[in-house]
Amino acid sequence: MAEKKEKLFDMFPPISTEEWMAKINVDLKGADFNKKLVWRTNEGFNVMPFYRKEDIEGLPSVGSMPGQFPYVRGTKTNNDWLIRQQILGETAEEINANAKHAIDKGVESLGISMRGLEASDLAEVLKGIDLAKVEVNITCCPRKAEEMAKALVEIVEKAGVADSFKGSIGFNPFKRLLKHGLEFPKDLKETALAVYEAVKPVEGLRCFAVDSFLLNNAGAYITQELGYALAWGAEWMTLMTEAGLTPCEVNQRIKFNMGISSNYFMELAKFRAGRMLWAEIVKAYGADEECCKMAVHAVTSEFNMTIYDAHVNLLRSMTETMSAALAGVDSIETLPFDLVYTTPDEFSERIARNQQHLLREESHLNKVVDPAGGSWYIETLTSSIAAQAWKIFNEVEDNGGFYEMLKKGEIQAKVNESGVKRHVDVARRKEILLGTNQYPNINEMALDKIKNVGCSCGCGCDKEVVDGAVEYLNFDRAASQFEQLRLDTERAANRPKVFMLTIGNLAMRLARAQFSGNFFGCAGYEIIDNNGFATVKEGVDAAIEKGADVVVLCSSDDEYAQYAPEAFKELNGRAMFVVAGAPACMEELKAQGIENFIHVRVNVLDTLVDFNAKLLK
């Protein structure tokens, strides 16, 4: 039977790349291929509109298998991952109860912050938890890491699970420089060695944190996060091998805690590239190939989370979680959708957990190892990301290493520069945040639901300059400036009304009314749409009757030369006048006193800030 089966593609002749390009150029009708179809990414390389088998010839990942050096296809021979949840609570007893509840609901990895608690409280925090089955990851003040590690080791040994325990003590002495611009106050090598000695009795307890999710949350690009994460890891390798440890001993204690942005395929490729590059780095220190594995925990991004239309956060975090799961990470934390404006409750935590359960139990993403392996697109992305990240890594090494650049504020400055660019892209709608800078829910009010204060709101209001501090990361979320606009609108005595004066060409007036409604809706204004008016006077009279603060003329470019001067004169300053579009006659209209034009090339944020300044007096 097998011999009689037809080969599916035998009826189709092979097509060369040149033939494909010839067909594409015909369809482009003279348009430039590179301008029309090539994606110029912010990651430092271009993405082509199509890929072929020839594009992956010679790539190092193609010939390897999952679980084999250089681990681009994964460090395991299965694709299972641990579901982590950050456990909240004010007291040790409360954290313990919440941890047990989370475990009952399917959590396999606990994230526990010991901020405000002491090492002596850890026994109560972990009371009644099966440490042989549940991974435990402790974060605490770096100065308390040694005593916290000793307390955890004592608990693990007392439970008799030292051989099977998995977890981490997140010793991150670089956090002060990243978040506050201040150096770690104690001797770094001495303290790190003391932490290592404290965790040494438990083989599965990692302690040297690479928290590159902080860079992600500050708006770093994907290649930046990866390049700096590798340099951060290399800082640990150099520091601790110089202290007398072997490369294997060091790497087995390093934990990469990385962020996940919503760039679906690139994030998938990032983790694959990261494992490959890290394996080569550790091998360069003299480690055996088996000791070159990268331990990676992934957490969804806070940078792109929003206060308005917050349930869209679920869509973002779902694709982010999928990227990490398909990439073969060791554990994933999906953040609750309401994290940025309130303390997550039972509902939001349950939904966050269940997002991973859906991917694992219903979509079966844990059943296939490296499903992207061999994909011409993903393999090329992996190689391109690896190349750019490697350049960043070498730049850091050439400038004295990760710690030296941190102390000068140089890494923070580069990440902040990327964050500023991304905020500009959001302001200009080059980067879309659904529900924030595009298709907002214009009737949603959020002021009353915001409970978090300080840096949680993303507005930077908690920043305080300290003498001697270098530049530190700016954690303003991408949506923060748009959200400030809407919150200002909510606080205003009168919510501005924007009236659509639709007239003339049916298709154009409808399209421009929709565009304008979305545009002004981003500031939280009340939008008054209309089916259309027979005359300009009829439209202006209706706008005045409705108490409009802004009147937007929506018509076709050809008709603006007639309608715009007529509407501007009829309105006579009783409301702000706006033309939707950038017609050829725009300069002539400006000469007649018409100042406001909205179209796809304007900076939406800056324009709305100007309107707020005039309307919210």
H/E segment holding residue 46: strand 46-47
CA distance 334 to 322: 10
Share of the chain above pLDDT 70, in %: 96
Share of the chain above pLDDT 90, in %: 94
**What amino acid occupies position 24?**
I
pLDDT (tens digit, 9 = 90+) per residue, 490-525? 999 999 999 999 999 999 999 999 999 999 999 999
pLDDT band at 380 (very low <50, low <70, confident <90, very high): very high
pLDDT band at 462 (very low <50, low <70, confident <90, very high): very low
pLDDT (tens digit, 9 = 90+) per residue, 75-92? 999 999 999 999 999 999
- Collapse the DSSP code of 52 into the 3-class scheme (helix H, G, I; strand E, B; otherwise coil) and give the result: coil
**Which stretches of 264-405 are assigned E, i.e. beta strand?**
296-300, 331-333
In the predicted model, what is the mean pLDDT of residues 246-257?
A: 98
Give me the phi and psi of 432, to 5 degrees please.
-95, 130
Q: Is the pLDDT of residue 4 over 70?
A: no
CB 252 within 8 A of CB 413: no
- Collapse the DSSP code of 66 into the 3-class scheme (helix H, G, I; strand E, B; otherwise coil) and give the result: coil
CA distance 546 to 510: 20
Tell me the pTM.
0.94
Domain boundaries, given as residue ranges, for the chain: 17-56, 82-407, 492-615
Residue that the structure tokens 């697109």 belong to: 377
pLDDT band at 456 (very low <50, low <70, confident <90, very high): very low
**Per CATH, which fold does 82-407 belong to?**
TIM Barrel (3.20.20)
pLDDT band at 2 (very low <50, low <70, confident <90, very high): low
CATH code 3.40.50.280 for 492-615:
yes
pLDDT (tens digit, 9 = 90+) per residue, 534-588? 999 999 999 999 999 999 999 999 999 999 999 999 999 999 999 999 999 999 9
